[in-house]
């Protein structure tokens, strides 16, 4: 594609910004919460919405790929599309293929009363669009679709590169469906590079490539005491209380300094290189500002001897997300619950593996079970940690694209979050992955008032137009 054509595509994107936002709003109105079975129809509707648009803009072989099986009746569909007719290079080599990845599922919107405008009624305020999924990841996935539309429209139905699109509906619940598909049908996603826009920029105005993600194991601990709930006056003092037992177990998982107490848990942790640590030190990061404005707690916590960036990017963690069960209504109920549950996850860093980490955790929990209760430790989902290479032409194309749009050099960061399939792109498909995301640190991912800064939505589309043209050139 000539520079003139590329700039025409950028111009097309600029002239159609308003329409792009209206379309995104329609997608955001669909409450595609993948973890809640009652939203299964909405999840499918979101998949169909994305598929219809891919078809409309000119992608080929658009289809939903079902991932539900007997064992996984709740599996959500993948959306697939491709366009593989790009002209070969002058020397006859075939045009490269870019695999565009995103997810159309979202996290639950609760607590609803914390939202200034309802989570599934997208609202624009102060240059931001507010809705569940605005930035994670419907808005960012839409940037891919709109960049492709811009390129098709100025290219008279042709793209400067071969493109495959794969959009999943289970990222927020572990991504098992896409993982199975990649392992069994990896060939049908054959590409030279994967483009993922599901990460953040380090700071406003600062173009960022994410080069590492933490992995995770998400688990449940179930504690059972008496056969049934008991009157706490009649029985209290003589019978086990599962919640107290669970609290005792949880208290032994981590010490007061944030060090995880599971024997051998840190054995496989690889420290970032000296160069990487040096680069992180040069990033514009003010710990006090982070505490005050982003976190809002009286102090920060975590392992001594590590910076906040190391703690969130390069160290494993253990967190408790909730302890369902017992009595949690308004008022008081004097009951000793028969069972208690805790949702506990651990973030993993290279070279930890989910299987080994889970085995160590399970064995340790089973070794500290208090008297009178039985414990079951279950894995809900898991994903591998990953660090991607930066030494390739695609990373260069991405930094050049963002330089044109932002007028600044790109910073390389890691993300503390997880995108389970990225590990499989690298290990199963054996392709480099470019994680070029346009979220901001205060976009409230997974929290009330999630937003996407519209200027970044537009700059993201332009960056992707330039990236795809650059890869094709
Ligand atoms: N987009 C996030 C992951 C992310 C956020 C990466 C910020 C880098 C920076 C993704 O949608 C996400 O939330 N993933 C889950 C995965 C989990 C449910 C397996 C996560 O990290 O909790
Ligand atoms: Mn995401
Ligand atoms: Mn997410």
User: Residues 22, 105: one domain?
Assistant: yes
User: Is the pTM here over 0.75, yes or no?
Assistant: yes
Total of domains in the chain: 2
User: Residues 458, 344: one domain?
Assistant: no
Question: Is 310 tagged catalytic?
Answer: no
Q: Which ligand 1 atom is at minimum distance from the Cα of 103? A: 11
Domain of residue 168 covers 3-213+385-472
How far apart are alpha carbons 341 and 430 in whole angstroms? 39
CATH number, domain at 237?
Answer: 3.30.70.360
Instruction: List pLDDT tens digits, range 91-114.
Output: 889 999 999 999 999 999 999 999
User: Residues 102, 246: one domain?
Assistant: no
Q: Which ligand 1 atom is at minimum distance from the Cα of 420? A: 19
Q: What average pLDDT does this structure show over 146-171?
A: 97
Q: Give the H/E segment covering residue 355.
A: helix 354-367
pLDDT, position 447: 97
How far apart are alpha carbons 39 and 111 in whole angstroms? 17
278 domain-assigned: no
Question: Is 428 tagged catalytic?
Answer: no
300 domain-assigned: no
Choose, from 82, 136, 168, 171, the residue flagged as catalytic: 171
User: How far, in Å, from the CA of 419 to the mean position of ligand 1?
Assistant: 5
pLDDT over 80 (residue 242): yes
User: Residues 369, 460: one domain?
Assistant: no
Task: For residue 120, count other CB atoms closer than 10 A to its CB.
Answer: 18
User: Residues 34, 127: one domain?
Assistant: yes
Instruction: List pLDDT tens digits, range 26-41.
Output: 999 999 999 999 999 9
User: Residues 142, 19: one domain?
Assistant: yes
Choose, from 42, 82, 105, 176, the residue flagged as catalytic: 105
Which residues lie below 8 Å from residue 275, measured CB to CB, with a gap of 6+? none
Task: For residue 19, count other CB atoms closer than 10 A to its CB.
Answer: 11
pLDDT, position 127: 98
Q: Name the 3-class secondary structure at 254.
A: strand
Pairing between β-strand 208-213 and β-strand 433-436 as defined by DSSP bridges:
antiparallel
Mutation probe of ligand 1 site: the residue of 32, 167, 419 with most atoms within 8 A of C-beta: 419
Could you say which DSSP state residue 188 is in?
Answer: G
- The last residue of a domain, from among 357, 383, 409: 383
pLDDT, position 338: 98
- The last residue of a domain, from among 334, 365, 383: 383
283 domain-assigned: no
Query: Which listed ligand is nearest to 380 at the C-alpha?
Result: 1
293 domain-assigned: no
Bridge partners (DSSP) of residue 218 are 345, 381
User: Residues 249, 118: one domain?
Assistant: no
- Mean pLDDT, the chain, rounded, equals 97
How far apart are alpha carbons 100 and 159 in whole angstroms? 14
């Amino acid at each position: 594609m000539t520079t003139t054509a590329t700039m025409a595509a950028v111009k097309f994107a600029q002239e159609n910004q308003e329409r792009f936002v209206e379309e995104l709003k329609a997608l955001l109105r669909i409450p595609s919460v993948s973890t809640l079975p009652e939203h299964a129809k909405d999840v499918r509707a979101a998949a169909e919405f994305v598929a219809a648009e891919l078809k409309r803009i000119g992608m080929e072989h658009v289809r939903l790929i079902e991932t539900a099986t007997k064992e996984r009746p709740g599996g959500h569909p993948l959306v697939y599309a491709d366009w593989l007719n790009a002209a070969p290079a002058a020397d006859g080599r075939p045009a490269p293929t870019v695999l565009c990845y995103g997810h159309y599922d979202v996290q639950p919107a609760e607590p609803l009363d914390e939202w200034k405008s309802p989570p599934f009624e997208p609202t624009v305020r102060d240059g931001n669009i507010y809705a569940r999924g605005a930035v994670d990841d419907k808005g960012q996935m839409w940037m891919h679709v709109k960049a492709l539309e811009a390129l098709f429209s100025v290219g008279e139905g042709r793209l400067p590169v071969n493109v495959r699109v794969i959009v999943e509906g289970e990222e927020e619940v572990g991504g098992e469906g896409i993982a199975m598909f990649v392992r069994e049908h990896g060939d049908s996603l054959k590409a030279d590079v994967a483009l993922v826009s599901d990460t953040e920029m380090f700071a406003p105005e600062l173009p960022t490539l994410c080069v590492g993600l933490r992995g995770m194991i998400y688990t449940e601990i179930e504690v059972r005491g008496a056969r049934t709930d008991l009157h706490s006056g009649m029985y209290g003092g003589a019978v086990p209380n599962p919640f107290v037992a669970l609290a005792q177990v949880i208290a032994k998982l981590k010490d007061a300094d944030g060090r995880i107490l599971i024997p051998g848990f840190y054995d496989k942790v690889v420290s970032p290189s000296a160069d990487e640590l040096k680069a992180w030190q040069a990033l514009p990061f003010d710990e006090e500002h982070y505490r005050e404005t982003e976190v809002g707690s009286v102090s920060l916590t975590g392992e001594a001897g590590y910076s906040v960036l190391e703690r969130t990017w390069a160290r494993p963690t253990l967190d408790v997300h909730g302890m369902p069960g017992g009595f949690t209504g308004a008022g008081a109920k004097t009951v000793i619950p028969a069972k208690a549950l805790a949702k506990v996850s651990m973030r993993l860093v290279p070279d930890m593996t989910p299987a080994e980490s889970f085995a160590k955790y399970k064995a340790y929990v089973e070794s500290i079970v208090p008297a009178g209760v039985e414990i079951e430790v279950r894995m809900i989902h898991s994903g591998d940690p990953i660090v991607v290479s930066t030494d390739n032409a695609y990373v260069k194309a991405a930094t050049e694209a963002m330089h044109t749009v932002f007028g600044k050099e790109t910073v390389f960061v890691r993300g503390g979050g997880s995108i389970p399939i990225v590990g499989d792109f690298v290990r199963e498909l054996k392709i480099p992955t470019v994680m070029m995301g346009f979220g901001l640190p205060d976009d409230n991912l997974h929290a009330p008032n999630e937003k996407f800064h519209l200027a970044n939505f537009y700059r993201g589309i332009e960056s992707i137009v330039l990236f795809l043209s650059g890869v094709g050139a």
